[in-house]
Amino acid sequence: MSTPYEPGQKVDLVILRETDLGFVAKINGTDEGLLYHNEIFEVLEPGQELPGYIKKVREDGAIDLLLQPFGNFGAQELGARILEVLQEHKGFIPVNDKSPAEVIYDYFGVSRKKFKIALGSLYKKRIVKVTDKGTELVDPKPS
């Protein structure tokens, strides 16, 4: 079965309905796919429009969706957002790679796993320092 979608592809979604497994969404105004409950970190409502990503196209043609890019996709953009938030908070935030998923979502709207990938990249570049109390810029610039 041929499909116009590739894993990781950004698409426009419209939430249609909730099921036992998750939410069914219209993809780019034509096809339908599924967002699984355990991969959703926000409240969704039928009729809501939002960007999403193709996770997988199954052999039977069913399409699995995500609200965030998977794997390392999007880590660079999230890294830039982490730096912005650090700048806004004078170089320190009380969030690190061991913070509860809910706290990370409140700050950045992403899963803990995605946050850890982006934070790890910043740490390896020596842009941030991660402590038990949170995350801080190595060389904060006054704003």
Over residues 45-80, the pLDDT tens digits come to: 999 999 999 999 999 999 999 987 765 556 677 888
Confidence (pLDDT) at 71: 57
Q: Examine the pLDDT at 143 and tell me if it is beyond 50.
A: no
Domains of the chain: 10-66 (2.40.50.140), 75-137 (1.10.10.10)
Q: Is the pLDDT at 22 greater than 90, yes or no?
A: yes
Contacts of 48 (CB under 8 A, 6+ apart): 14, 15
The conformation of residue 35, written as its DSSP 8-state character, comes to E
Phi, psi of 104 (to 5 degrees): -60, -40
Which carries the bigger pLDDT value, residue 128 or residue 102? 128
Alpha carbons 69 and 85: distance in angstroms, whole number: 20
Q: What are 79-112's pLDDT values in tens digits?
A: 888 999 999 999 999 999 999 988 888 888 788 8
Instruction: Calculate what percentage of the chain has a pLDDT beyond 70.
Output: 90
